[in-house]
DNA sequence: CGTAAGAGAATGACCGTTCATTCTACTCAT
DNA sequence: ATGAGTAGAATGAACGGTCATTCTCTTACG
């Protein structure tokens, strides 16, 4: 016979428990998008997940633990996207494709309202702030590295100083794109892709003239 | 002697009432930055304004009216900034100067956490959404107009299609800058200004080569 | 029968808002 | 001058409701 704690573990972390957890997280994400982290109530989340409020507490210690789980999942998606960015051959299209209409909703997306809410929460909650800062630094570093890497190695061969500046602007551009997604969800996709192609052509050119005064 | 209603008017909408209103709004803004629109309570706002909770309701109908007032003030600042943008001779410096450390706090600033919170709220509350959308459209139109205007008239002389694209990217860049301000409040100001000079030199050049495929 | 899963009412704290009351400052008849 | 009268300003306790969380009880299954 199994030891009690082993059985406990097998059960708690079993397939059912995992399914319940993701069910709760999906419901919570939907509610957070619709109402925000603080305006969404546990009762609403429970209703959305089609279970009783009390049951949620079997799988999560508190509401803020759920919020943190949602945020960390979003940050993980950011990490994944960045990791696969420098592999893509058409950068503009790849970036434009991360701009989503609000209708479609896979679970590997950076949801614009969650991005905004998370960024705001990061300025208040130290735990969220730390998680966001870690990913943020990693992304900025990765951007700079890709811009500096030699062209024959898949980079853009920019000198360090220029790479640092352009990585910063690129980062602002991407984050601004998420803001835009929240504000203009039905923005013309063709225009966006074309505009991105234009600006990336400028920013990632082999070498460009120095800016005027 | 004044008529009673005249005195009444002078009193209600008098200097005192106005002062109380701004006192409440300043306290509310502080609380909203610190805790967010929904997590900040009327009790906290009242305490910050050094008055009783009940008194606030003499000057504002509800909490959401206060939230809306704060948001509309922020949007007004955006309008002002945009209006005076194309007058500035050093665009990069002007933009970089709207990037604020969290310590200094005049009341003609676009506060980064409020920007995020407002953008998120706009996706939920129709009234906020409408106010934000109005300003948003105006800003994007103004950007495009400036990029299209002839150089001798203070514009940048870009053809319409290119102006549309670059205005969109410029907008994303600015909004991204606010996200960055929230995340990296102590970002090196020199680097920022230099990076902005670089990218604006590219985006606003008299005419640039078309992007590679 | 025993044990985990689940439901849903109970709990206490706190929310936005209201209201009866008190305070303050000013008018004016004496 | 002074004290009564008064109206607006301000208070803070109270209210109904809702919040996150806990508890008790039932159900289902091995």
Give the DSSP letter string of A83-121: HTTTT-S-HHHHHHHT---SS---SSS--HHHHHHHHHH
* Per-residue flag: B8 CB under 7 A of strand D: yes
* Per-residue flag: B57 CB under 7 A of strand C: yes
Give the DSSP letter string of B104-131.
Answer: ---SSS--HHHHHHHHHHHTT-HHHHHH
Q: Is A198 on the interface with B (CB under 8 A)?
A: yes
Position B207 scores a pLDDT of 63
Q: B64-206: which CATH number, 3.30.70.1060, 1.10.357.10, 2.60.40.1890, 3.90.1150.10?
A: 1.10.357.10
Largest CA distance in chain B: 79
Q: Which single residue is written with the structure tokens 């089609």?
A: A50
Is the CB of B133 less than 8 angstroms away from the CB of A196? no
Is the CB of B119 less than 8 angstroms away from the CB of A182? yes
CB atoms within 10 A of CB A132: 23
Interface test with B, best of A37, A120, A147, A194 (most B CBs within 10 A): A120
> What is the rounded CA–CA span in Å between residue B140 and residue A72?
33
Q: Is A119 on the interface with B (CB under 8 A)?
A: yes
Q: Is A166 on the interface with B (CB under 8 A)?
A: yes
D13 C1' to B54 CA distance, Å: 11
Give the DSSP letter string of A173-203.
Answer: HHHHHHHHHHH-TT--HHHHHHHHHHHHHHH
Residues of A in contact with B31 (CB under 8 A): none
Compute the C-alpha angle B140/A169/A157, nearest 5°: 135
Distances (CA, A) of A178 to A6, B119, B203: 45, 11, 21
Mapped onto helix, strand or coil, the DSSP state of residue B39 is coil
CB A183 within 8 A of CB B168: no
Q: What are the domain boundaries of chain A? A: 1-61, 64-206
> What is the rounded CA–CA span in Å between residue B168 and residue B170?
5
Q: Is B212 on the interface with A (CB under 8 A)?
A: yes
> What is the rounded CA–CA span in Å between residue A29 and residue A22?
10
Position A163 scores a pLDDT of 96
CB A110 within 8 A of CB A81: yes
Half-sphere exposure of B82 (CA within 13 A, CB side): 23
What CATH architecture applies to the domain B1-61? Answer: Orthogonal Bundle (1.10)
Instruction: Tell me which chain A residue has its CA closest to the CA of residue B114.
Output: A120
Q: Please give, rounded to a whole number of angstroms, the shortest distance from the CA of A212 to a CA of chain B.
A: 6
Query: Which whole number is the average pLDDT over B35-61?
Result: 98
Same fold, A1-61 and A64-206: no
Nucleotide with the nearest C1' to B16 CA: D9
Q: Is A34 on the interface with B (CB under 8 A)?
A: yes
For B116-150, letters b (16+ CB in 10 Å) and e give bbbbbbbbebeebeebbeebbeebbebbbebbbbe
Position B66 scores a pLDDT of 98
Nearest-CA residue relative to C1' of C7: A52
For B164-191, letters b (16+ CB in 10 Å) and e give bbbbbbbbbbbbbbbbbbbbbeebeeee
Length of chain A, please?
Answer: 213
Query: Of B11-25, B78-92, B143-157, where does the model show the most confidence?
Result: B143-157
CB atoms within 10 A of CB A17: 14
Instruction: Tell me which chain A residue has its CA closest to the CA of residue B180.
Output: A172
pLDDT in tens, B162-173: 999 999 999 999
Query: Which whole number is the average pLDDT over B114-128?
Result: 98
Q: Is B30 on the interface with A (CB under 8 A)?
A: no
Give the DSSP letter string of B189-204.
Answer: HHHHHHHHHHHHHHHT
Q: Please give, rounded to a whole number of angstroms, the shortest distance from the CA of B75 to a CA of chain A.
A: 14
Position A87 scores a pLDDT of 65
Of A71, A179, A174, which is closest to residue A130 (Cα–Cα)?
A: A71
Across the interface, of A123, A195, A202, the residue whose CB is closest to B182 is A123
Position A120 scores a pLDDT of 98
CB atoms within 10 A of CB B49: 20
Q: Please give, rounded to a whole number of angstroms, the shortest distance from the CA of A52 to a CA of chain B.
A: 25
Q: Is B164 on the interface with A (CB under 8 A)?
A: yes
Across the interface, of B36, B183, B191, the residue whose CB is closest to A165 is B191
Position A93 scores a pLDDT of 80
Position B13 scores a pLDDT of 58
Of A67, A60, A4, which is closest to residue A33 (Cα–Cα)?
A: A67
Q: Which residues of chain A register pLDDT less than 70? A: 1-13, 86-89, 104, 207-213
Distances (CA, A) of B121 to A55, B118, B201: 30, 5, 34
Position B205 scores a pLDDT of 85
Per the rule left: phi > 0, alpha: psi between -120 and 50, beta: everything else, A88 is: beta
Q: Does the structure show a pLDDT above 80 at B8?
A: no
Higher-scoring residue by pLDDT: B14, A25: A25
- Which of residues 58 to 117 on B have a Cβ less than 7 angstroms from any strand C atom? 62-64
Position A176 scores a pLDDT of 98
For residue B143, what are its two tokens? 């950007």
Mapped onto helix, strand or coil, the DSSP state of residue B8 is helix
């Amino acid at each position: 016979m199994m030891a009690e704690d082993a059985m406990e573990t097998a059960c708690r972390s079993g397939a059912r428990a995992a399914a319940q957890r993701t069910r709760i997280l999906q419901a919570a994400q939907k509610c957070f998008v619709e109402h925000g982290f603080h305006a969404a109530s546990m009762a609403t989340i429970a209703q959305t997940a089609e279970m009783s409020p009390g049951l949620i507490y079997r799988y999560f210690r508190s509401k803020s633990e759920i919020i943190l789980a949602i945020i960390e999942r979003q940050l993980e998606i950011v990490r994944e996207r960045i990791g696969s960015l420098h592999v893509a051959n058409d950068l503009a299209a790849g970036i434009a494709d991360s701009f989503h209409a609000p209708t479609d909703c896979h679970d590997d997306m950076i949801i614009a309202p969650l991005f905004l809410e998370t960024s705001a929460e990061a300025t208040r909650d130290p735990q969220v702030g730390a998680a966001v800062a870690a990913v943020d630094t990693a992304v900025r570093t990765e951007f700079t590295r890709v811009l500096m890497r030699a062209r024959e190695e898949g980079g853009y061969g920019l000198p360090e100083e220029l790479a640092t500046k352009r990585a910063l602007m690129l980062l602002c551009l991407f984050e601004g794109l998420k803001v835009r997604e929240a504000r203009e969800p039905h923005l013309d996709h063709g225009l966006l892709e074309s505009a991105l192609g234009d600006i990336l052509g400028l920013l990632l050119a082999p070498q460009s003239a120095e800016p005027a005064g």
